[in-house]
Amino acid sequence: MKNAQQEEKALVIICDAMTHDVELTAPDATLQEAASRMKDCGVGMLPVGENDRLVGVITDRDITVRAVARGMDPKSSRVRDAMTPQVLYCFEDQPIAEAAQMMEKKVVRRLIVLNRRKRMVGMISLDDLARLPGEARRVGEVLERVAEPRPPVNGQS
């Protein structure tokens, strides 16, 4: 038999913890514009949208490792040249535990949140999960895995 705390945790779903107001960037925006938007919003990832569709995500790591470290000029290089085209997502009505498991499995700190019509409704991050009562241990475990040194992105240095 489950105790009350386990039942309460099972009822917490992603939409209860996610960030609702998410900024988008366009694939034709410059890397400098994307980095500036990340700074202004206090985030490390922006979804990339084009023609009312998500076409990828751009992270601070994408900008530094895929672009700047390769000599690309952030003032003229475009988001599409450094973005990650795969969009990792979860659904707003899924249990929080599933988002944490996906972050750990995919070794990421953030996921796009979609509704069941596959429309973006927010983003969930390890920071969001850490604010939930009883989730500190799980977040620590996921963060430990995510923070492990990784090889260069797409084999690039």
Token digits of residue 106? 């995919």
- pTM of the full predicted structure? 0.78
pLDDT of the residue at 1: 45
49 exposure class (CB count in 10 Å sphere: 0-12, 13-18, 19+): middle
67 exposure class (CB count in 10 Å sphere: 0-12, 13-18, 19+): buried
Nearest CA among 64, 137, 53, 47 for reference residue 100: 137
Q: Rounded to whole angstroms, how far apart are CA atoms 59 and 140? A: 21
Question: What is the 3 state secondary structure string of 135-152?
Answer: CHHHHHHHHHHHCCCCCC
The amino acid that residue 77 corresponds to is: S
55, pLDDT greater than 90: yes
**60-88, pLDDT tens digit by residue?**
999 999 999 999 999 999 999 999 999 99
pLDDT of the residue at 53: 87
pLDDT of the residue at 36: 97
Pairing mode of beta strands 89-91, 110-114: parallel
pLDDT band at 145 (very low <50, low <70, confident <90, very high): low
Q: Rounded to whole angstroms, how far apart are CA atoms 98 and 102? A: 6
5, pLDDT greater than 60: no
Q: Rounded to whole angstroms, how far apart are CA atoms 82 and 56? A: 10
pLDDT band at 49 (very low <50, low <70, confident <90, very high): very high
pLDDT of the residue at 100: 87
- Residue, of 89 and 139, whose pLDDT is higher: 89
136, pLDDT greater than 70: no
Helices (H), 63-157: 96-106, 126-130, 136-146
**84-132, pLDDT tens digit by residue?**
999 999 999 999 889 988 998 998 889 999 999 989 999 999 888 888 7
